[in-house]
Protein backbone atom coordinates (compact mmCIF):
# COMPACT_ATOMS: atom_id res chain seq x y z
CA UNK A 1 0.00 0.00 0.00
CA UNK A 2 1.23 3.47 -0.80
CA UNK A 3 0.06 6.21 1.54
CA UNK A 4 -0.04 9.84 0.45
CA UNK A 5 -0.15 12.02 3.52
CA UNK A 6 0.47 15.66 4.38
CA UNK A 7 2.33 16.76 7.49
CA UNK A 8 -0.27 19.49 8.15
CA UNK A 9 -3.32 17.23 7.92
CA UNK A 10 -5.58 18.41 10.78
CA UNK A 11 -7.99 15.47 10.44
CA UNK A 12 -5.60 12.53 10.24
CA UNK A 13 -2.43 13.13 12.28
CA UNK A 14 0.80 12.41 10.44
CA UNK A 15 2.04 10.25 13.32
CA UNK A 16 -0.82 7.79 12.71
CA UNK A 17 0.57 6.71 9.35
CA UNK A 18 3.77 5.48 11.02
CA UNK A 19 1.88 2.45 12.33
CA UNK A 20 1.11 1.36 8.77
CA UNK A 21 4.64 2.06 7.54
CA UNK A 22 6.05 -0.53 9.92
CA UNK A 23 4.84 -3.20 7.53
CA UNK A 24 7.48 -3.99 4.94
CA UNK A 25 5.53 -3.43 1.72
CA UNK A 26 3.92 -0.12 2.65
CA UNK A 27 5.39 3.14 1.36
CA UNK A 28 4.75 6.83 1.92
CA UNK A 29 4.57 9.84 -0.36
CA UNK A 30 4.86 12.77 2.01
CA UNK A 31 3.57 16.25 1.20
CA UNK A 32 3.97 19.55 3.01
CA UNK A 33 1.38 22.31 3.30
CA UNK A 34 -1.50 20.68 1.42
CA UNK A 35 -3.56 19.61 4.40
CA UNK A 36 -6.34 17.04 4.17
CA UNK A 37 -8.22 18.13 1.03
CA UNK A 38 -5.85 20.06 -1.25
CA UNK A 39 -3.75 16.92 -1.53
CA UNK A 40 -6.42 15.53 -3.89
CA UNK A 41 -5.90 18.19 -6.55
CA UNK A 42 -2.14 18.73 -6.28
CA UNK A 43 -0.34 18.22 -9.60
CA UNK A 44 2.68 16.51 -8.01
CA UNK A 45 0.47 14.08 -6.11
CA UNK A 46 -1.54 13.27 -9.24
CA UNK A 47 1.68 12.72 -11.22
CA UNK A 48 3.02 10.35 -8.54
CA UNK A 49 -0.21 8.35 -8.55
CA UNK A 50 -0.23 8.19 -12.36
CA UNK A 51 3.37 6.93 -12.40
CA UNK A 52 2.60 4.25 -9.82
CA UNK A 53 -0.46 3.01 -11.68
CA UNK A 54 1.28 2.90 -15.04
CA UNK A 55 4.31 0.94 -13.83
DSSP secondary structure, 1-55, as one string: -EEEEETT-SSS-HHHHHHHHTSTT-EEEEESS-TTTGGGG-HHHHHHHHHHHH-
Confidence of residue 11 (pLDDT cuts 50, 70, 90): very high
**Does position 15 have pLDDT exceeding 90, yes or no?**
no
pLDDT of residue 41: 95
Residue 38 has pLDDT above 90, yes or no: yes
pLDDT at 33: 94
Whole-model pTM over 0.85: no
The pLDDT of residue 23 is above 90: no
Amino acid sequence: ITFIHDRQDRYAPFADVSLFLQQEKNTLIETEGLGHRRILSDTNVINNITKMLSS
